[in-house]
Structure formats: C-alpha cells, structure tokens
Amino acid sequence: MNDRPGAGPDGTRGHYSYAHYANREVAEGFDALRFGGPIGQYLLKVQQDLLLGAIAPPEGRRVLDVGTGTGRAALALAAAGANVTGVDASRQMLDVARARAAERRLTPTFEVADAQALPFADRSVDVAVCFRLLMHVPEWRRCVGELCRVSSWRVVLDFPARSSVAALESAGRRVAAAAGRTTEAYMVLAERDVRAALASGGFRVTAVHRQFVLPIALHKKIGSLGVTMAVESGLGALGLRWLLGSPVTMVAER
C-alpha cells in the first residue's frame, strides 16, 4: 500500500479515488454531504438494514468492511455485536471513523489498506462488506477478487447500475474529468459483470436489492421522504425498479 495522497497500488497515482479523500475537510464533511437530510438518512437506514439482514445473526461474526470511509457500516455492525475491522486508503477518513467509534463507545478496528490489495489472509473473515466503493476504484474486478479471497462465507457489496439513470450522471462526470474538471468520475457497472466477478472468486449471488428508479440527487433536491416513497412505490409497481433500480446491493455466498 502506498500511503501518499493520490497514490494507490501499482502507481495509480493521481486517481481521484485516492487524491480526493486524502483531505481532512472532505472527510469531516463526507457524511453530511452523502447522508444528510431525510433522503440521506433513509439511504443509510436501508443500507444498514440490508447489511444486518445479510449476515444475521451478526453477533460474533468476523467482518471486514472494505472502503469503510467514516465507518458507517463498521459502527452499525459493531453495535450489533460483530467483530469488525474497517479498512480504507484514506487516513483522514479513518480519523473520523475512530472519533465516531469513541463517541459511541464501540471498539471496531480501523486500518489503512487498499481495496485492491488487502493485507489479510485467504478466508480470514466470515464476511467481506463493500459499500459505495466499487464505483470509485480504478480496478473494480480486482477489488471484488480481494473481497472473495478474504471471505470464508459471504460478500455483501453495492454499485450503481449501468442500466439506471445514474449512467447518465456518470457519463457526464467522465466527460467533465476528461476535459480537466475536478470531479468524482465514478463508474456504473453491469449486473452480469459483477455476478461474473463474484463467480470467478467462488461466490454465487443469493440476493439482489435495487433501491431507486429516479436519481438520488433528484430525490435529495426534492427533500421529501414522503414524495420519494410515493413516487418510487408507483414506479416499482410498474416494474421499473427491477429494470432500472440503483444502487444495486448484492449478497453472495461461497
């Protein structure tokens, strides 16, 4: 692991996924930006409910939270009784995670590590978790391979779907990045490709959850959970969530 800001494994220096988050202000404002307001809080609750359901019962489970960031998933798991290690390439994000763990009197372990080269033995944990990360890593298949390698039982991950409206935002950001603008030019992934990557690691998908048809940014701009639930319920009744829903959360088992 290369600990310099903007440098990842194999010299992926300058990729935004390393450089952007190696910043104290970004780390301290991350949760308010991503999970503030009623829609952000709803996103967080759905993520936590899916995660705890996927590894039930959580008590005593050895869990590795890859790309833990400010520790949202790690803290939820630790509060539920799991033995959690959270890893991230950003020391600044981990500083926030440790402070929040101390505030809540929880004791997960946090370590600097890269999602594409995890410093853990094969099948050394029960579950590997990876939320809001695959869309950002330079080599997402390598990351999935590492999740499968270290897990003895299950992998839980999510990603923005290529078949969703998020693909339009992703395309716009990638064009902006190519033009020299500073932006998080995240990727969207095809479900079949993620399934194939998990299968290559010896895992089969046992559950899939698709969340929103309309873009999260639009729901946040409206700012009404009631409107969001009503609109998304209607679109779901038309079968559009199954076709276009994003982010996609997958649970896979060895």
Instruction: Give the DSSP letter string of 167-236.
Output: HHHHHHHHHHHHTT--------B-HHHHHHHHHHTT-EEEEEEEEESS-HHHHHHH--HHHHHHHHHHHH
* Residue 44 counted as domain residue: yes
* Residue 229 counted as domain residue: no
**Nearest 5°: phi and psi at 251?**
-115, 130
Which regions of the chain are under pLDDT 70?
1-14, 16-17, 23, 33, 168, 170-171, 173-177, 179-185
The per-residue pLDDT for 15 is 72
In whole angstroms, give the CA distance from residue 4 to residue 2: 6
* Residue 2 counted as domain residue: no
Give the structural domain span for 152.
9-159+187-212+248-253
Q: What is the pTM of this model?
A: 0.86
The per-residue pLDDT for 14 is 62
The per-residue pLDDT for 176 is 66
Helix (H) or strand (E) holding 27: helix 24-35
The per-residue pLDDT for 127 is 98
Percentage of the chain modeled with pLDDT above 90: 59
Tokens (6 digits) for 208: 């899939």
Q: Which of 160, 135, 138, 253 is nearest to 201 (CA)?
A: 253
Q: Tell the residue number behind the tokens 């048809």, with chain if given.
A: 213
Counted domains in the chain: 1
* Residue 3 counted as domain residue: no
Using the 8-state DSSP alphabet, how is residue 66 labeled?
Answer: E
What's the CATH code of the domain at 98? 3.40.50.150
* Residue 208 counted as domain residue: yes
* Residue 105 counted as domain residue: yes
The per-residue pLDDT for 7 is 47
